[in-house]
Amino acid sequence: MEVPSCQSRSSYDDCKKTADWLLVRTKQRPRVAIICGSGLGALADLIDDKMVFPYQDIPGFPTSTVAGHAGQLVFGKLQDRECVCMEGRFHYYEGYSIHTVTYPVRVFFLLGVETLIVTNAAGGVNGSYNVGDIMVIKDHINLPGFCGQSPLVGHNDDRFGVRFPCMSDAYDRNLRTLAIQTAHEQNCGGFLQEGVYCMVVGPTFETIAESNILQRFGADAVGMSTVPEVVAARQCGLRVLGLSLITNKAVTDYDSNEKANHEEVLATTGLRARDLQRLVRHLVTKI
């Protein structure tokens, strides 16, 4: 397997070359982009009039190395709305720079995308959450950002956005309201939550002490992705909706015999993926 390069190629010119390459090869002009998390790539199956680009064929794109991530960009129509779907994302723990992780988001911006829907598989930190719940993300805690790992570190190109973007409104309030309304319309309200997502680098799952700390921080769910993409999207002025599928419960008790593992994550996404697909499909028509 090819080792991912940690070198950053995320300049405006690099991103524009990628965007221009895609625009020449598809007639689709999407205004909505969807990033699929672990095991959630089936969202791309809902798209009609597909045009598929494997990541390895796209100039400037890295390739995903994680099970449950197909590694392709899918253009097409979802309920007659032109969309682009990223079937598999990139993670910092794979060895990519944080700028490379967010490269696709900047490309989406240059494609003309206005709204980004990010999905992920997450561990439930909130004790009232159940495996299989869907959490609408209302805010996030960027632990890697506390340590300087931000896609905005370094030279700022004003063509992407301002040097100091606001993050108090990272997750669009109107989109969150719309998602909650749509979930109830699609009979998903019984397992719907709204809460705070915390990003850790991984790839290890959290220790018991770490899970307890995250609870005290105010986190409701924890995962290893999403936040860098949201930061880059907000700098570019994209509206963002985040959805977490709770695939396991964080272990907070030393007497527990529970152990988080990636196989459990993929198994749970398989069971609940259809509900999440239905929610996203009907939501897109309202955006």
* N-terminal to C-terminal alpha carbon distance within the chain: 39
Does 91 participate in catalysis according to the annotation? yes
CA dihedral over 72, 55, 228, 246, signed as positive or negative:
positive
Q: Which among 64, 150, 244, 248 is annotated as catalytic?
A: 248
The pair of three-digit structure tokens given for residue 287, joined into one six-digit string: 């955006």
- The amino acid present at 231, given as its one-letter code, is V
Among residues 10, 19, 33, 38, which one is catalytic? 38
Contact yes or no for 199/142 (Cβ under 8 A): yes
The residue with tokens 């100091």 is 164
Is 69 assigned a catalytic role? yes
94 assigned to active site: yes
Q: Which member of 64, 87, 91, 142 is catalytic? A: 91
Catalytic residue among 42, 51, 93, 212: 93
The answer to whether 38 is a known catalytic residue is yes
Please give the Cα distance from 138 to 152 (Å, whole number): 21
> How far apart are alpha carbons 222 and 273 in whole angstroms?
19
Nearest-angstrom CA–CA distance, 280 and 134: 12
Catalytic residue chosen out of the listed positions 64, 126, 211, 225? 225
93 flagged as catalytic: yes
Q: Is 257 a catalytic residue?
A: no
Catalytic residue among 10, 87, 92, 94: 94
248 among known catalytic residues = yes
Question: Of these residues, 11, 212, 262, 267, which one is catalytic?
Answer: 262
Give me the catalytic one of 33, 199, 224, 232.
224
User: Does the active-site annotation cover 140?
Assistant: no
Q: Which of 19, 121, 183, 221 is catalytic?
A: 121
DSSP string, 190-243: GGEEEEEEEE---SSPPPHHHHHHHHHHT-SEEESSSHHHHHHHHHTT-EEEEE
> Which of 33, 69, 150, 171 is flagged as catalytic?
69
Query: Which positions are catalytic?
Result: 38, 69, 91, 93-94, 121, 224-225, 248, 262
